[in-house]
Amino acid sequence: MAKKKFFVLVLLVLVLQVGLFVLFYYFFTNPPPGFMIIGPALEELKGSMWLVGVLGPQSLFIPIIAIIIAGGSMSEEYERGTADILLSKPVTKIEYMTGKFVGGLSLLGFVIALTTTLGVALAYGFFGPQESIQIAPAIYLVLLYANLLFFSMTFMFSEVLRRTTLSMLASIGILVASTFIGGILSTMYLISGEQLYVEISKWLPNWSASNLPSFVASELITALESPFISLPGGDIQLAAAIIAVYTIASILIATLKLVKSDVTKKTD
């Protein structure tokens, strides 16, 4: 938590959440000519605005925060030369790694709880009572689970590479690349109609992490159709399974690296 970039990024997310709701409030109170959503439909739309605050940061900012938290979780101890001191205590390597993982995940859970709470509060403050707000705790848990993918992947890089900056850059590169490649595959699908492109894109890390919360929201929401979530029918089981595969594989690789390597060495 001593990382200034972590606090700056969290503050930026909170500011963007507020700014987004201010823009939507202005838009709804000063609709442009030709805006066709009026009456009950507009009220229904306002009643689902909490989804904007809760799901909005998931597309980019929450994964990056997860990467920053996990990026130095293991590597900073090697860079500072404190790993050997910590492991000279009566703890095993597995206990050491578990403590690091759970501690970082707890911090990530706090950040997601903060953005979720703020999103709900802003929706109530700007647009009044919200529909299906009872599913917000479930969406929070799904958000935490979805972000396990990039958190675990960066945690693995932090142990394998033992360089904080390299670990973060590796995961951010994968996040950006999977988003870019997913866009290309979607375009190829629209041009050719070949379903194979869609199936390939589903195994990119960003697909499951970004879409799972929206898929679950679309299944649980009791209000009428909302433009802020995916249409019903998203493959929840596949998205959850892909996250589990990436997470388990990352944890296993990090564990094997820690158990089999010499940790009593300061990195240059």
pLDDT, tens only, 66-78: 999 999 889 888 8
Confidence of residue 39 (pLDDT cuts 50, 70, 90): low
* In a domain? residue 6: no
Count Cβ atoms within 10 A of the Cβ of residue 5 and give its class: 0-12 exposed, 13-18 middle, 19 or more buried.
exposed
Contacts 24+ apart (CB under 8 A), 183-186: none
SS (H, E, C) 49-67: CHHHHHHHHHHCHHHHHHH
* In a domain? residue 129: yes
Structural domain for 184, as ranges: 13-260
pLDDT tens for 100-147 read 999 999 999 999 999 999 989 999 999 888 888 889 999 999 999 999
Does residue 224 have a pLDDT over 50?
A: no
* In a domain? residue 61: yes
pLDDT above 90 covers what percent of the chain?
41
d(CA 218, CA 66): 24
* In a domain? residue 143: yes
pLDDT at 228: 56
d(CA 207, CA 258): 29
**Greater pLDDT, 131 or 185:** 185
pLDDT above 70 covers what percent of the chain?
88
Does residue 193 have a pLDDT over 60?
A: yes
Phi, psi of 39 (to 5 degrees): 60, -135
Encoding tokens for residue 210? 């970004």
Alpha carbons within 13 A on the beta-carbon side of 205: 22
* In a domain? residue 227: yes
Could you tell me which residues come within 8 angstroms of residue 27 by beta carbon, excluding any fewer than 6 positions away? none
* In a domain? residue 267: no
* In a domain? residue 4: no
* In a domain? residue 265: no
User: How many structural domains does the chain have?
Assistant: 1
